[in-house]
Amino acid sequence: MANSGQKVVLITGCSSGIGLRIAVTLAKDEKKRYHVIATMRDLKKKDKLVEAAGDAYGKTLMLLPLDVCSDESVKQCINNVKDRHIDILINNAGVGLLGPVESISIEEMKRVFETNFFGVVRMIKEVMPDMKKRRSGHILVMSSVMGLQGVVFNDVYTASKFAMEGFCESMAVQLMKFNIRLSMIEPGPVHTEFETKMMEDVAKMEYPGVDADTVRYFKDVYLPSSIDIFEAMGQMPDDIAKCIKKVIE
Ligand code: NDP
């Protein structure tokens, strides 16, 4: 349970990557200012987080199951938080999807929107009433540079982040009146399993019905330059975690 004076922070998608590092960084805060509720959809994946948290596990860090695509799971998770009191919500969970729209089913596209867009909407709807009552709170949303600019063969992922940006920009105005902050985080490339999965997707990619120029551009220009950018400018999940710590301080 949180001590008085500690802020309760709930983070989605903590089984790997950026979410895991945010959870550990905040739980290990030198002044113990945060009581971290790290969530993941499959608690069988908890070992990496528990190991990284070390002594903080069970003290400043606890775990709860949460699938942001399920209304029931979201409600259950928030109901399990004492008094439903969350000071800071960090919407980090997200999935990527790379490939020409010709080769992606509508079902796959919906899965991306269910997670990246409706996942965030569900969480905000669930925590907002209590934050409004207390007239305080901070909601952070993990967007991407791809929430600002379209990128070839990332059409659906980009669209899901654009949608979230629009939703949050509009919500921010309403929430401000209740002293609730809404912050968007828009990282460039970050070295996580997201990147590994993207490279696996590229290897399997097919181009049915896509014109030869676009395929050539993707393979000869976009892909090599993306890899260069990842190598030259790719951040580590810890960099993003430190940035978030600054934003919420
Ligand atoms: P990872 O793939 O390492 O982590 C994604 C996390 O989201 C995992 O914990 C995953 O859980 C979780 N997740 C996926 N679907 C759900 C769901 N339905 N319910 C709950 N959790 C879910 O990637 P990153 O750490 O890189 O990505 C984190 C966020 O950062 C994403 O929103 C991504 O869009 C964004 N981002 C990433 C960038 C990058 O280059 N890596 C750049 C810009 C933004 P599980 O293990 O169960 O799949």
**Residue with CA at minimum distance from ligand 1 atom 9:** 13
**Is the predicted pLDDT of residue 220 greater than 80, yes or no?**
yes
User: Of 57, 157, 207, 222, which residue is the catalytic one?
Assistant: 157
Is 43 a pocket residue for ligand 1 (Cβ < 6 Å)? Answer: no
Task: For residue 73, count other CB atoms closer than 10 A to its CB.
Answer: 17
Give the integer Cα–Cα distance in Å for 87 and 91. 13
pLDDT of residue 5: 87
Q: What angle do CA 231, 39, 51 make, to 5 degrees?
A: 65
How far does residue 28's CA lie from ligand 1's centre (Å)?
Answer: 21
Residues at the annotated binding site?
13-41, 67, 144, 161
**Residue with CA at minimum distance from ligand 1 atom 31:** 94
Per-residue confidence band for 4, with pLDDT thresholds at 50, 70 and 90 = confident
pLDDT of residue 211: 93
Q: List the chain domain ranges.
A: 7-242
Q: What ipTM was assigned to the predicted interfaces of this complex?
A: 0.99
Q: Which atom of ligand 1 is nearest to the CA of 145?
A: 43
What is the DSSP annotation of 106-162? HHHHHHHHIIIIIHHHHHHHHHHHHHHHHT-EEEEEE--GGGTS--TT-HHHHHHHH
Any catalytic annotation for residue 157? yes
pLDDT of residue 47: 98
Q: Convert the pLDDT of each residue in 89-139 to its tens digit.
A: 999 999 999 999 999 999 999 999 999 999 999 999 999 999 999 999 999
**Residue with CA at minimum distance from ligand 1 atom 24:** 17
Is 92 a pocket residue for ligand 1 (Cβ < 6 Å)? Answer: yes
**Is the predicted pLDDT of residue 10 greater than 90, yes or no?**
yes
**Residue with CA at minimum distance from ligand 1 atom 20:** 67
What is the DSSP annotation of the chain? -PPTTPEEEEES--SSHHHHHHHHHHHT-TT--EEEEEEES-GGG-HHHHHHHGGGBTTTEEEEE--TT-HHHHHHHHHTSGGG--SEEEE-------S-GGGS-HHHHHHHHIIIIIHHHHHHHHHHHHHHHHT-EEEEEE--GGGTS--TT-HHHHHHHHHHHHHHHHHHHHHHTTTEEEEEE----B-SHHHHHHHHHHHH---TT--HHHHHIIIIIIHHHHHHHHHHHPBPHHHHHHHHHHHH-
Residues at the annotated binding site for substrate?
144
Is 91 a pocket residue for ligand 1 (Cβ < 6 Å)? Answer: no
In this predicted structure, which of 49-58, 73-82, 124-133, 218-227 has the lowest mean pLDDT? 218-227
Q: Which CATH class is domain 7-242?
A: alpha beta
Residue of 69, 109, 111 whose CA lies nearest to 91: 69
Whether residue 98 contacts residue 153, with contact meaning beta carbons closer than 8 Å, is answered with yes
How far does residue 78's CA lie from ligand 1's centre (Å)?
Answer: 20
Mean pLDDT of 134-162: 97
Q: Give the distance from CA 63 to its chain's centroid.
A: 17
Is 75 a pocket residue for ligand 1 (Cβ < 6 Å)? Answer: no
Q: Which residues pair with 139 in a beta bridge?
A: 89, 182
**Is the predicted pLDDT of residue 1 greater than 80, yes or no?**
no
Percent of the chain at pLDDT exceeding 70: 100
pLDDT of residue 84: 92
pLDDT of residue 196: 87
pLDDT of residue 197: 87
Q: Convert the pLDDT of each residue in 167-199 to its tens digit.
A: 999 999 999 999 999 999 999 999 999 888 888
pLDDT of residue 202: 87
**Is the predicted pLDDT of residue 159 greater than 90, yes or no?**
yes
Per-residue confidence band for 203, with pLDDT thresholds at 50, 70 and 90 = confident
Is 41 a pocket residue for ligand 1 (Cβ < 6 Å)? Answer: yes
**Is the predicted pLDDT of residue 2 greater than 80, yes or no?**
no
5: amino acid identity, one letter: G
Is 226 a pocket residue for ligand 1 (Cβ < 6 Å)? Answer: no
How far does residue 177's CA lie from ligand 1's centre (Å)?
Answer: 31
Average pLDDT of the chain? 95
Mean pLDDT of 54-82: 98
